[in-house]
Amino acid sequence: MNLGAYIYGVNHIDFKVNQTKKYNFFGVIPEKGSEIYLFKTREPQGIFAKVRVIEIKNNEVHFEVLEKRELSNQVPAFVLKRYFSNEHWPKGYVCMLHTQLIVYEKLSILWEESKNSHGIEQILMQLPIRMEAGSWYQKYSFFTQWFKSLDGEYSDEDLIKIWSGSSDISSISPQHISPEQCLDNIDLLRDITVKIVNSPTSLTHSEVKKIWREQSTFPSVLHVAINRVFAMTDPSLFTSAVSEGNYFPKLYRFLAPMLGIQSRYSDWVSGNIAFKTKLNALLKNQDDIKINIELWGLIEYLETNSDIELVLEGPRNEQYGQIINSKDEQMNSQNLTTLNQILYGPPGTGKTYTTINKALQIIAPDFYLENKDNREKLKARFDELLNNNRIGFVTFHQSFSYEDFVEGLKASTGEDKQINYDVEDGIFKSMCNSVSEKLLTNINEKRVLIIDEINRGNISNIFGELITLIEPSKRSGGTESLSVKLPYSKETFSVPSNLHIIGTMNTADKSLAQLDIALRRRFEFVEMMTNYELLKGIPDIEGINVAKLIKTMNQRIELLYDREHTIGHSFFLPLLGNPSLQLLAEIFELQLLPLLEEYFFEDWERVGQVLGDHLKDNHELRFVIEQFGNSEIAELMGDDWEVQGIQPYCRNQEAFKNPQAYIGVYTR
């Protein structure tokens, strides 16, 4: 018998003690008598049961359930990751064998010791804190006691201590309030403080922001500073994670399923109250400040170990990498903290447009949250960060090389007219060096490199030996950090852990299956397809339903070609501001028809089928028509001449002006 820990992945917990189950096993086939731990692959992930194999027929394994736990006290994936940092865990119905004896023994002990512990208690036990004199715990405690002792009477000095700079509860960086700004707004800050202390609710939160926006002299609403006052008012209801755009939402999404919280995260105040109320009921008579510091430790771990989800989900599919399909997962899941991701999809699905949002969500989450509906402000902030080198942008193409991306020799002519060759850094090395310098002074400062059209470059040539170093665990400070000596400069080089790489990929140019396998294994892939909900916002144009029109065309393209060559929504977004037949005709004639010609290699019959021309009895409504009639052919070539090959086609200019031609695409 193999001596080791068998782990079998399942996506549900519908098991009962003494129950017999049978499954077709993939991966490792256990031996009769083996004990297997069942690992839940859906969130919240973890080990929840122990079973024994009683019979094996081919790949069908029969086992008896020995022990089974409720979701609340399973061994969480987070704890498994901390105990076994180099091990992988199943994704889907796969059985894995951890052959090391130490894993088997430690897992057995962990399973027994956690029997009566809630999953969150198990997690917090992994995050010990310092409580001695001078520790954050002591300072946090003293500050909240001092704040409570003021009992609603706040002097100017008190308010400066409460609002400006960094308090012992949390920093508000990169936001900042100077003592002078406090004094300029002292009466307003006093009123706001009293309002928060008297009623720390979501309604108060909204009212305070409105008052701040309308009455203060600050250039913008300082959400983090406001939240910090809520946090010092009642540590039992509010964590010290005062950022609205990143830290607390991440914590909430990670722990809420374990607490049985069904509601989605909505805002910082109601999220904190719901979260801490549930947590307090679980951890009765616990020290609120100790818990808040432990939670902050968990946040820091989630931030600095952004590969946790990848490790827990096991090895990636070697052909395609990990592909995220659902739109909710695309925009709302762990993608915000993923270090390497590629947005892929057909032309016009908003990939480059979305990189601006994603970059701001990573670098300036609070700004993004406040201005997510104001594209002009988002683009201006993006350009500012681009100019300040917090964001880098490059487009790959066939002639782009390692020398452009990392480093290379560039020729120059000196005053003596002699040609000199100097080592010049490429955009990737320059960004990495800049990030590494900042990392010494500000570990939380993130940067983003956007690589547009990443699939158009020769990945092996461009990345060279650095393709390994971009893996989260191989970056500087990672669990298996690596560095290399560069070929030209001979410098030792590593990739910093706070540089995010976002690529875009047009699947009409090259499918995902054709992408360099080394790149696929190191990136997460976010599919971006046509968003018909956006198109539904376009009003009918002389009876034309644009969303139905495009959806029908795309369905035909999928039948005639594939889904990677469908038509994106971006082509039609100008119609939101100008819903006219003239503009629709221009889009069709100048953009869509040339695209379809390219897709189908000027096979006009198939182009016409995409446009529904083959279903239109009225030839005047067809966008693509035969160029010559029988009489014209006879006049040009003689009565006995027969058309050789494919009949020449041309565009029917009149159809582009007729609303019925478009309606005929999706109705018969």
Per-residue pLDDT reduced to its tens digit, 308-365: 332 333 222 222 233 333 333 333 333 445 789 999 899 999 998 999 999 998 898 8
Kindly state whether residues 520 and 558 are assigned to the same domain: no
pLDDT of 602 higher than 80: no
Interval 141-168: pLDDT, tens: 999 999 999 999 999 999 999 998 667 8
Q: Could you give the CA distance from residue 401 to residue 488 in angstroms, rounded to a whole number?
A: 14
Q: Could you give the CA distance from residue 579 to residue 539 in angstroms, rounded to a whole number?
A: 7
3-state secondary structure 224-235: HHHHHHHHHHCC
Query: How many domains, the chain?
Result: 4
Distances (CA, A) of 139 to 73, 145, 175, 460, 519: 33, 10, 22, 52, 47
On whether residue 331 sits in a domain, the answer given is yes
Tell me how crowded residue 537 is: count the other CB atoms within 10 A of its CB: 12
Nearest CA to 93 among 31, 12, 5?
12
Tell me, what's the pLDDT at 201?
94
Distances (CA, A) of 11 to 37, 44, 458: 13, 10, 39
HSE of 111, CA atoms in CB hemisphere, 13 A: 23
Please tell me which residue, 566 or 88, carries the higher pLDDT value.
566
Contact 176, 194 (CB under 8 A): no
Contact 337, 303 (CB under 8 A): yes
Tell me, what's the pLDDT at 159?
93
Tell me how crowded residue 179 is: count the other CB atoms within 10 A of its CB: 15
Please tell me which residue, 35 or 442, carries the higher pLDDT value.
35
Kindly state whether residues 660 and 564 are assigned to the same domain: yes
Contact 530, 347 (CB under 8 A): no
Looking at 477, 499, 527, the residue that finishes a domain is 527
Contact 648, 627 (CB under 8 A): yes
Q: Residue 417 — left, alpha, or beta (φ > 0 → left; ψ -120 to 50 → alpha)?
A: left
Kindly state whether residues 171 and 296 are assigned to the same domain: yes
DSSP for residue 645: S
What are 635's two structure tokens?
């006049």
HSE of 197, CA atoms in CB hemisphere, 13 A: 17
On whether residue 517 sits in a domain, the answer given is yes
3-state secondary structure 52-110: EEEEEECCEEEEEEEEECCHHHCEEHHHHHHHCCCCCCCCCCCEEEECCHHHHHHHHHH
Q: Could you give the CA distance from residue 311 to residue 313 in angstroms, rounded to a whole number?
A: 5
Backbone angles phi, psi at 626, to 5 degrees: -65, 135
What are 500's two structure tokens?
């995010």
Kindly state whether residues 299 and 322 are assigned to the same domain: no
Kindly state whether residues 324 and 300 are assigned to the same domain: no
On whether residue 269 sits in a domain, the answer given is yes
CATH code of the domain containing 345: 3.40.50
Q: Could you give the CA distance from residue 619 to residue 569 in angstroms, rounded to a whole number?
A: 28
Tell me, what's the pLDDT at 3?
55
Tell me, what's the pLDDT at 438?
58
3-state secondary structure 220-282: CCCHHHHHHHHHHHCCCCCCCCCCCCCHHHHHHHHHHHHHCCCCCCCCHHHHHHHHHHHHHHH
pLDDT of 442 higher than 60: no
HSE of 201, CA atoms in CB hemisphere, 13 A: 5
Looking at 280, 304, 328, the residue that finishes a domain is 304
Kindly state whether residues 148 and 209 are assigned to the same domain: yes
Looking at 275, 304, 333, the residue that finishes a domain is 304
Domain that holds residue 50: 5-117
Predicted confidence band at 304 (pLDDT cuts at 50, 70, 90)?
Answer: low
What are 571's two structure tokens?
């082509």
Tell me, what's the pLDDT at 514?
61
Tell me how crowded residue 368 is: count the other CB atoms within 10 A of its CB: 23
The H-or-E segment that residue 6 falls in is: strand 5-10
Kindly state whether residues 519 and 654 are assigned to the same domain: no
Kindly state whether residues 426 and 515 are assigned to the same domain: yes
CATH code of the domain containing 56: 3.10.590
What mean pLDDT value characterizes the chain? 84
Tell me, what's the pLDDT at 253?
86
Interval 25-69: pLDDT, tens: 766 788 888 899 999 988 788 999 999 999 988 778 899 999 999
pLDDT of 636 higher than 90: no
Contact 408, 423 (CB under 8 A): yes
Residues in CB range of 160: below 8 A, 6 or more apart: 179, 182, 183
Predicted confidence band at 236 (pLDDT cuts at 50, 70, 90)?
Answer: very high
DSSP for residue 404: H
Kindly state whether residues 582 and 454 are assigned to the same domain: no
Distances (CA, A) of 197 to 74, 230, 231, 236: 38, 7, 10, 14
Tell me, what's the pLDDT at 659?
95
Interval 516-529: pLDDT, tens: 677 777 888 888 89
On whether residue 126 sits in a domain, the answer given is no
| Burial profile 58-80: b = 16 or more Cβ within 10 angstroms, e = fewer | eeebebebebbbeebbbbbbbbb
What are 246's two structure tokens?
């990143």
Rounded CA Rg of the chain: 30
On whether residue 311 sits in a domain, the answer given is no
Low-confidence winner among 96-110, 246-260, 288-302, 395-409 (lowest mean pLDDT): 96-110
Tell me, what's the pLDDT at 570?
92
3-state helix, strand, coil in the chain (%, to 5): 45, 15, 40
HSE of 357, CA atoms in CB hemisphere, 13 A: 17
Kindly state whether residues 385 and 498 are assigned to the same domain: yes
On whether residue 129 sits in a domain, the answer given is no
pLDDT of 478 higher than 70: no
Kindly state whether residues 38 and 178 are assigned to the same domain: no
On whether residue 127 sits in a domain, the answer given is no
pLDDT of 582 higher than 90: yes
Nearest CA to 469 among 317, 358, 338, 339?
339
Tell me, what's the pLDDT at 310?
28
Local structure of 10: helix, strand or coil: strand
Kindly state whether residues 322 and 297 are assigned to the same domain: no
pLDDT of 464 higher than 50: yes
On whether residue 571 sits in a domain, the answer given is yes
Report the predicted TM-score, pTM, of the whole model to 2 decimal places.
0.51
